[in-house]
Each structure stands twice: as C-alpha cells, then as structure tokens.
Amino acid sequence: MDSSLLANFLDSTDFGASKTTKTVTYKINNTGADTLLLNMPLVSVKGINAADFTVSTLPDSSIAPGDSSSFTISFLSTKIGIKNARVEIVSNDTDEDTFTFAIQASQLLDCNHANALANNLNTTYTAAFSETTPDGWNCYCDSAGSLLLALKLGGTGAVIAPNQVQLQIGQNNTFSSTSTGGLINNLAGYTIIDRRWVVNPTTQPIGEVGVKYFFTKTEFDSIVVKLAAMAAPSIVSNVNQLNIYKATSGALFANPHTVSGIVLRNGFIPSLAIWKDSVVNASTFSAEFKVNAFSGSGGIGFGGGGLALPIELIHAKVNYILVYPNPAQYAFTIVNNNVDEELIYSIYNCAGQKVLHGIFSNQAVVNTQDLNTGVYLIGLSNGQSVKIVIE
C-alpha cells in the first residue's frame, strides 16, 4: 500500500457499510536492509472522525529486514453516515519516516419499534433515515438511531423523506396553559405531554396512513401528577383515558389553544376517529391511529382534546369521567363530575358486541360477575370512552 489521502475498496482502506463492528487487517512489510523501528504509539488514527476508529491490534515495534507485522483497525460509530480519518505510522524509515493513509467507513443503524426514543428536553429532532419493518411500518430515526415515529404508508402514494419528519421536546415533560381558543374552551386550562411532531410530506397520501406516536412512561407519570394538581383536577390512571387531537391549522409545534382540529378517542381498532394504546416495553407506550392528510403538530394528554399529525393528547375540559377500580373483578364504579348531565353507558367486548348498558347522572356501580375476563370498552353518550380490564 502506498501513502494515500484517498480511501478505496481495492486496498481495504474503505471499510464499506456496516451496522456492526467492522475490522480490517493491514500488514507492514520491511523491504529494506535495516531493522524498521516504529515510534510509539506504533499506529495512531487522526482526523475528524478518529474516535469512530480503534487500533484493536498493534504491530511489533521492531521489524527485521524481510519480515512483516500486522495490525488491525476496527470501526463502529454511534451515528449513521460516512466517517473519515487517517492512519499515521512514524518510524526510522529514511525514505518516509511518517507513513499516512486515509481510511473511510459508513455506519448503518437499525431503526424499528425497539429503538430507544429521542428523549432530550428542549430539543428539536429531524429524522436522518428510515427503515421498513416486516409488517410494513416505516420507522423514522435521527442520526443516532433514536426513534421519532412510525408511519404505515402502504399504497397511499404518500412521499415522505426522512428529513420531513421532526419531533420537538419541550423544556419539561408537560406543558400547561390557562389560555383558551382554538381547540380549548376550558377556562380551567389544559395540560399536554410536551412531545410534539410534524410531518411535511412531498406528496400527501391518497387514502389512510397508519401512525404510531411514541411516548415514555416518565412522561405519562408526569402528566398524571400535573393533571391531578390542576385547579379543576383530572384523575388519570391509565393511558387509555387520554385523547389525541389532530390540528388542521396553525404553526408547526403550535399549542392546542392556537389551532383548530378534531378529537380521537381511545378504542380497540385504530381509525380516523379512534386511537389504540400499546405497551412497547417497560418504559415506552405507543398510540396508533390513522390519518388521511398531514397537518399540524403533536404530543399527548387528557380530556376533550383534538388530534393531528402529529398528535397532541390534551386536557381540554373540566368535566371528567372516572372509572375505578381498573382492573376490576366483581364490579366497578363510573363517576361523572357533571351532576347535571345524564349519560347512557354501553359496555362492549373485544368483538364489538354490547354486553351491558345503563343510564346514570353522577355515578353508577356496574356488576361484572357475569362478564368473562378480558378487556372491555365503556362508551358514553357524550362521546367519551374508557377501557377497563375485567379479571
């Protein structure tokens, strides 16, 4: 190998692309008549991306005439993209006491539902790449492989480059306001999880696109505490009590009181009007639903909210429905804090069949001894719904 400032595949100075550690072996040949002595540190890597390359095996410090000695360099980066550096060997060679050659490698990363979420406060992330899972979800990650969101484009014709997907995390886990307007008519204010994302596609979809928005258990725990501390408190114990809003106007990452939009309720089958919650792992939840256009910005919260691509779950009404205990064994209680409102409740099993119904004003105790164990949906005549688990 000659000293070179350009890496190439022929002499293995270009490592190629890899998702895992890539190691290349090089050999130093002493073709002279004298012993070749290498100066410490024998082999060094320098340059803008030197930290991504490691001299994993060192050569001998002394190489006799006609002999050779090998060394290896390994590559692994925490961020995607092409990484460049140079190898430097200093010796007693009278013709070329400093031998230098360029090295290059390209880091690939996985991007799927198992990736850690982007999670730095007061940060706006832009997706750097995406990968499609076997079940058709396009997962969008930043350059470090942190997951931002997932879209199921299918045959909708939507064209979305990675850099057209963004996520903004606020200064705190939650955001609260007493302002009204837009989606908010609640004089007591509202609280959202301050994790909002936007999609600005090259081509809008023709048909429904699946969306998975991700949020952390820490964020959910924070909004539970924040909602309970409001002047008109809301009691939330399960993510399925939250609502999503889809903004149809307003600036990117706008607050819900400055935008118009529509509301999604929690349910079993994701649709344009229903979002479904799932546990991704011990620290992450997902909210799955569908959209037929990209607009607005998003996050997650509680109450009568709106939703968007991105989504925002918000506390937008003083009125709340409380269901406890959840899970339940023999009975549960439904509480409506609006005593002047008479409601009809209907309970549906996973097959969508109505198994119980009734009318109440302030509260109702529902006997569940005749119900099979499983997950049920409580639908109310005011449009609200809550999942409950019968054990």
Looking only at the bridges linking them, the beta strands covering 343-348 and 374-380 are antiparallel
Residues shown for the chain: 391
50-81: pLDDT as tens digits: 999 999 999 999 999 999 999 999 999 989 99
Q: Is 165 helix (H, G, I), strand (E, B) or coil?
A: strand
Neighbours of 24 (CB within 10 A): 19
Range of the domain at 188: 123-312
- Cβ-Cβ contacts under 8 Å for 155 (sequence gap 6 or more): 207
Residues 381 and 293 in one domain: no
Q: What average pLDDT does the chain have?
A: 85
Residue where one domain finishes, among candidates 312, 341, 374 = 312
The answer to whether 81 touches 52, Cβ cutoff 8 Å, is no
Mean pLDDT of 146-171: 94
- Higher-confidence residue of 304 and 139: namely 139
Residue where one domain finishes, among candidates 79, 107, 135 = 107
Structure tokens at 139: 């997962």
Estimate to the nearest angstrom the gap between the alpha carbon of 302 and the chain centroid.
20
Which pLDDT does position 273 carry in this prediction?
Answer: 81
In 3D space, the residue among 147, 366, 196, 176 whose CA is nearest the CA of residue 257 turns out to be 176
Q: Could you tell me if residue 3 is inside a domain?
A: no
Residues 335 and 221 in one domain: no
Which pLDDT does position 342 carry in this prediction?
Answer: 81
Residues 193 and 282 in one domain: yes
Which pLDDT does position 305 carry in this prediction?
Answer: 30
Which pLDDT does position 337 carry in this prediction?
Answer: 61
Q: How confident is the model at residue 352 (pLDDT cuts 50, 70, 90)?
A: confident
Residues 159 and 285 in one domain: yes
The answer to whether 3 touches 100, Cβ cutoff 8 Å, is yes
Q: Could you tell me if residue 113 is inside a domain?
A: no
- Cβ-Cβ contacts under 8 Å for 9 (sequence gap 6 or more): 16
Structure tokens at 155: 């045959």
CATH of the domain at 357: 2.60.40.10
Q: Could you tell me if residue 178 is inside a domain?
A: yes
pLDDT above 80 (res 186): no
Structure tokens at 81: 């993209």
The answer to whether 191 touches 179, Cβ cutoff 8 Å, is no
User: Count of domains in the chain?
Assistant: 3
Q: How confident is the model at residue 361 (pLDDT cuts 50, 70, 90)?
A: confident
DSSP H or E run through 124: strand 123-126
Q: Could you tell me if residue 260 is inside a domain?
A: yes
Residues 142 and 86 in one domain: no
Structure tokens at 181: 């307007």
In 3D space, the residue among 198, 200, 127, 113 whose CA is nearest the CA of residue 159 turns out to be 200
Quickly list DSSP for 279-330: EEETTEEEEEEEESS-BS---EE-SS--B-BSEE-B---S--EEEESSSBSS
295-320: pLDDT as tens digits: 765 545 443 232 222 233 333 233 45
Name the most confidently modeled range: 108-122, 217-231, 357-371. 108-122
Residues 348 and 303 in one domain: no
Q: Could you tell me if residue 57 is inside a domain?
A: yes
In 3D space, the residue among 350, 294, 18, 326 whose CA is nearest the CA of residue 153 turns out to be 294
Residues 225 and 333 in one domain: no
pLDDT above 80 (res 183): no
Residues 166 and 299 in one domain: yes
Q: What percent of the chain has pLDDT over 90?
A: 47
The predicted model scores a pTM of 0.69
